[in-house]
Amino acid sequence: MSLPQDFAAAPVPDGATVRGLQIAMVITGIGATLPMFPLGTRIAGALGLGAAIGVAVGACGLVAVLGMLTSVVGARCRLSTYQILAFSFGARGAQLINLMLAIMLIGWFATTADMLGGAVQHAVASLWGYESPKWLYTFVALVLMTLTGIFGFHVMEHFARVTVPLLAVLMGYVVWLSISRNGLGPAFARAGDHSLSAVDALSSVIGAIVLTAVLAPDLTRYARDDRNALVSVLGVALGYPAALLLAGVPAAVYGKHDIMDVMTLLRIPGIAIVILVVSTWTSNTSNLYSATLTLATLFPRRSTRILGLLASVVALGAAAAGIADYFIPLLIVLGILSAPLAGVYVVDFFLLRRAGSRGGALAAWALGSVCGLVATYSGYSLTWIPAVDSILIAAAGHVLFNIARLLRQRVLVEGVTPDFNFVIEVHVAAAPISSAYFLADVDAGRLDGTSIFRIVNLHNQPETVPAKIEVLQMGVRETDPTIPAVIAHETTGATGLRHRRGTVSLARFAPGAVYHSMFVCMRDEPALDEGGARNPDGLGFAAFGSVVEGFERLQRLFVANARSVEYPESPTRLVRVRRVAR
């Protein structure tokens, strides 16, 4: 039986999608983890059980709001977070950010496994007097987590179907046992020790779980549609508070700050170790999974399973050398730097329609990161919650740095096929001649009834071509290369536009010899710019627009034909192409 493909470098096809509740189950498993249980007990001990419930529900609710936005981005693009970042930051900017994320995720993978190894070593020695080196437990933990992390989402989802109900039953039993012996009244009556304020507790929970929302597209790219993406957020809105309170309630009943101490009092050490292992196994698998997706953008020609194994070997080396603990301060800083990424790519997707300035995106991220670091380490904060500060400031910065784009009157053209629609923003000011030619075709209805007739992929171009490209061509198909020039050719050097992912450009033979046809770049294509190697005359092609809505549907069409012939026998029909207002 072959293992399922994980689509690390391509959009998830319709046939591989799942229901939102299945994704919510995976997210819940990520939340039921070793760090979350102590956090739940600490909040209950500091604030009292009643206030702890309010903090858990409120904090997870706030993160769920962000998760709703990021999850819909994932469902519509069908791409991992690390590929989505390329829309906002460009290929080079995204590589820099993805390298940071890879270091963070591998670091947490190593550190969490090391923490688990130490906890199991201590538990076994305390309960049964059996002494074994910590590295042995850590090694076993890393092997188990690697086996479920390198084979992709579908293996994780099947694993979560077993582990999440198991953890719910076991933790529910601990809660029931605690309440049946001591009652719930004393737990609510017991005042907290005020070692944390409510705001500090709220900030601690949000800081601990916000990356789940930031990296949500890694999972929700498998959602069937927007509704299922929103349903998946129940994993944060309900699953995470449940994980916090399943640990907090028994701790409040017994007045303890450690759920493992409670289980020792209840004389259920076996259950304690099972909960410890299964919860950490389930959650840490996601760190390796996301790390593998990140590495796939940096090393696109490598197998994701090989990349996952290499990441696991690095983690094992760090744990065996005893340096995993020293990673934690760095990992905390990287986590602070990661949160504002969501503010940037959410604004870019929903407001700027992926047409924002890449330099502006980097500046907004840097601004949000600095504010997050200041709020964390100095105490000066706008909202008293550093993660919220960084996300809101990055989002506001991205809007500010693109205010001119937002205020100008946009010229939008919608292409309608039998299966999907897409919208092109025409950059009239930058490329007036090419734009006028295209808009004349649109207004005359000349493109209605034509098709997306050509799919140029890496497999259907001859090896002798100066530079291979990946584009979709649509409009009128012309076979006579001797047609005369009908407009002046606008080079990218003159317009300032570039052939990037989503760019729309006029197809031509000789410079200006256009023929009512255009193409969409499926990736950054510098070979199509002026001075690029694709065209022998070195003048490149005339870019005039960019796809701002529906690019993910065009990409699915491209991926479905990634190994097809250049001219499919059944091209996708363009029913109509019209100007639209937004």
- What is the domain partition of the chain in residue ranges? 19-338, 339-408, 409-580
State residue 1's pLDDT score.
42
CB atoms within 10 A of CB 165: 12
Give pLDDT < 70 ranges for the chain: 1-5, 34, 324-325, 354-355
The torsion angle over the Cα atoms of residues 136, 142, 143 and 149, rounded to 10 degrees, is 170
* Residue position matching structure tokens 């590495």: 295
* Residue 409: Cβ-neighbour burial (10 angstroms; 0-12, 13-18, 19+): exposed
Q: Can you state the angle between helices 269-298 and 20-31, rounded to 10 degrees?
A: 110
State residue 324's pLDDT score.
64
State residue 392's pLDDT score.
96
Pick the CATH number of 19-338 from 1.10.4160.10, 3.40.50.2300, 3.30.70.360, 3.20.20.70: 1.10.4160.10
- What's the whole-model pTM score? 0.81
CB atoms within 10 A of CB 180: 9
State residue 4's pLDDT score.
59
Q: Can you state the angle between helices 340-350 and 198-214, rounded to 10 degrees?
A: 50
State residue 290's pLDDT score.
92
> What region, left, alpha or beta, does residue 101 occupy, with left being phi > 0 and alpha being psi -120 to 50 degrees?
alpha
What are the φ/ψ torsions at residue 175 (nearest 5 degrees)? -65, -45
Chain centroid, CA 359 distance in Å: 20
Looking at the domain covering 409-580, what would its CATH class be?
mainly beta
| Radius of gyration, CA atoms only, the chain | 27
Q: How far apart are CA 63 and CA 204, in angstroms?
A: 12
Structure tokens, 415: 């292409």
**Residue among 349, 364, 368, 356 at smallest CA distance from 403:** 356
* Residue position matching structure tokens 């503010």: 343
Task: Give CA separation, 1 vs 4, 314, in Å.
Answer: 9, 30
Same fold, 19-338 and 409-580: no
Contact 535, 553 (CB under 8 A): no
* Residue position matching structure tokens 């504010």: 371
As a residue count, the chain comes to 582
